Amino acid sequence: MVEVFKTNVQNHSDAERLASELSKKSDSLKINFDLNDCDNILRVEAKKINPLEIIELMHSNGFQCEVIL
């Protein structure tokens, strides 16, 4: 399963820090930020994903995040 999120993350250091935080939730998550995309995409791949948990973690770190349908 893959979930794609629109974010307001704009630099690679924030992306790396957030990816590290997200990885703590589950070792099986594959996390990728595409900061060259106009929506600053966050892609998360795993067998099971809880989008609300990802959104809450992003918000608690001061970033906007929403699922792209």
* pLDDT-based confidence at residue 64 (cuts at 50, 70, 90): very high
pLDDT at residue 58 tops 90? yes
Tell the residue number behind the tokens 């106009």, with chain if given.
38
Q: Quick check: 15 and 9 in contact, CB under 8 A?
A: yes
What tens digit of pLDDT does each residue of 23-50 get?
988 878 999 999 999 999 999 999 999 9
Over residues 56-68, the mean pLDDT reads: 97
